[in-house]
Amino acid sequence: MVDDELPQEEEEVVVDDFDAVDLGDLPDIPDEPEDSSIADVFGYDVAFKIGFVGVGHAGGRLAETYWKLGYRSVAVVNTAIQDLTPLKLPDANKFDLGGGGAGKDPSIALAATEGRDEDFYDLFKRTLGDDLDYVIMCLGAGGGTGAGAWPAIHRVLVRYLEENKRPARVGAIVALPKDDEGTRPARNTIETLAGLMSGHKNLSPFIIVDNERVKAIFRKTSPAQFWAQCNNQVCSLFHLFNRIAAQDSPHTSFDRQDLASLLDGGVVSYGAAPIKEYKTPPDISKAIRQHLAGNILASIDLSTGDKAGCVFVCGKEAYSSMDQELLDHGFASLNRILKAGSTVFRGVYPGNNPDLRAYTMISGLDLPRTRIKELRRIAGLD
Ligand SMILES: Nc1nc2c(ncn2[C@@H]2O[C@H](COP(=O)(O)OP(=O)(O)OP(=O)(O)O)[C@@H](O)[C@H]2O)c(=O)[nH]1
Ligand SMILES: [Mg+2]
């Protein structure tokens, strides 16, 4: 090192005559804007900050399930205090519209929301925080409260996000009734779906749970566990995508942008397939197809989808010994299931699971037309 590159010792500056300039009374400097974000409690990163607003009994339980997973931007609204009380959420996150329930009549809940916009706004301010990437409304389409109160919740959520300079990305998780619930829930559902799809709401992601399939899949579950297990399946799988998209893989990462493309694509469906045998290409593609077709989300023609994410989580043995071409075949098989020209976002992660698992989300789907037809018939509309 040459001499003039050596650090120079700083010369001490001595101020012996200090003449202050007269600037009058200096205005107060405002404090840093208050940080009103609400921290989730996962202990690991997630890709997006997501808030959940549950409306009605089903919606409240779905939102509570997200709270149990570690999300903290959660609010629930009901017309029946008796449905709010059992939810394991702080009282500040619950909002009672009053009236003791809507008795499966959405017009009662709609009337109960009139003039309550500012109450909803305050609830969102108190419970959701201001740094949200998405907010998802959760509701049962066949009841009275969820079906009647969601339009006001949606309207105020959009305003809340806009005023907080957040993208107005609002999605929905909607539960369809079982056949044996009868005419009224079926009719409410048809009207609710029509409302959710009308105008330029662009609800995204739009997740449709079919309770007729829940009934079939959880038929051996005790009544005490029934809704908890069903809701947990829907919510924990969705959450897993949010978690995976924040993790780097030494192989192929499914990233935040990939997940955003799927969540912004409208109607989505997702499934998880454990793949015990992975010797031949069909072992992989068949497992993926079966689990997308046999889960509790409403059955949708997958060939209407235009984007998918497929993440393989490989146990040690699979990661170190299986042929890479099997995974490539799995990705390619999804491309063939979807609309021509579709995109499949890929992820391959080494995991602690003993087997191989495929987690798949498909987006840009049509509505579950066959199920809607059945519900129209039950509603006496066809
Ligand atoms: N997936 C799911 N569906 C549910 C759950 N609870 C109720 N449902 C379904 O939701 C519909 C009834 O909606 P509720 O949420 O109970 O009704 P509500 O919105 O509270 O309306 P009212 O009780 O009429 O005031 C039915 O079709 C049920 O099958 C749940 O926890 N999960
Ligand atoms: Mg209710």
Atom of ligand 1 nearest to the CA of 147: 19
For a mutational test of ligand 1's pocket, the pick from 180, 211, 230, i.e. the residue with the most ligand atoms closer than 8 A to its C-beta, is 211
Nearest CA to ligand 1 atom 32: 58
Q: Is 102 in the pocket of ligand 1 (CB under 6 A)?
A: yes
What is the C-alpha to C-alpha distance for residues 149 and 240, in angstroms, rounded to an integer? 29
Helix (H) or strand (E) segment spanning residue 152: helix 145-163
* Ligand 2 center to 369 CA (angstroms): 27
Confidence of residue 307 (pLDDT cuts 50, 70, 90): very high
Phi then psi for residue 251, to 5 deg, are -105, -80
Q: Is 357 in the pocket of ligand 1 (CB under 6 A)?
A: no
Q: Is 265 in the pocket of ligand 1 (CB under 6 A)?
A: no
Atom of ligand 1 nearest to the CA of 102: 25
pLDDT at 27: 85
* Ligand 1 center to 56 CA (angstroms): 7
Q: Is 230 in the pocket of ligand 1 (CB under 6 A)?
A: yes
Burial track 207-230 (b if 16+ CB lie within 10 A, e otherwise)? bbbbbbbbeeebeeeeeeeebeeb
Q: Is 177 in the pocket of ligand 1 (CB under 6 A)?
A: yes
pLDDT at 298: 86
Phi then psi for residue 89, to 5 deg, are -135, 155
Q: Is 299 in the pocket of ligand 1 (CB under 6 A)?
A: no
pLDDT at 289: 87
Burial track 70-103 (b if 16+ CB lie within 10 A, e otherwise)? ebbbbbbbbbbeebbeebebeeebbbbbebebbe
Token output for 134:
């998405």
Confidence of residue 1 (pLDDT cuts 50, 70, 90): very low
Instruction: Give the residue carrying structure tokens 């602690």.
Output: 352
* Ligand 1 center to 104 CA (angstroms): 9
Burial track 43-68 (b if 16+ CB lie within 10 A, e otherwise)? eeebbbbbbbbbbbbbbbbbbbbbbe
Nearest CA to ligand 1 atom 10: 140
Confidence of residue 32 (pLDDT cuts 50, 70, 90): low
69 Cβ neighbours under 8 A, 6+ residues apart? 42, 235, 236, 239
* Ligand 1 center to 374 CA (angstroms): 19
Confidence of residue 2 (pLDDT cuts 50, 70, 90): very low
Helix (H) or strand (E) segment spanning residue 357: strand 356-365
Which numbered ligand comes closest to the C-alpha of 57? 1
Nearest CA to ligand 1 atom 6: 58
Report CA-CA distances (Å) from 176 to 114, 198, 217, 227: 26, 18, 15, 13
* Ligand 2 center to 52 CA (angstroms): 18
Res 110 pLDDT > 80: yes
Nearest CA to ligand 1 atom 8: 58
Residue from 47, 83, 39, 45 nearest 64 by CA: 83
Residue from 78, 27, 358 nearest 86 by CA: 78
Phi-psi region of 106 (alpha: psi -120 to 50; beta: other; left: phi over 0): alpha
* Ligand 2 center to 104 CA (angstroms): 8
Q: Is 145 in the pocket of ligand 1 (CB under 6 A)?
A: yes
Amino acid at 348: V
Confidence of residue 37 (pLDDT cuts 50, 70, 90): confident
Q: Is 56 in the pocket of ligand 1 (CB under 6 A)?
A: yes
Compute the average pLDDT of residues 257-271: 97
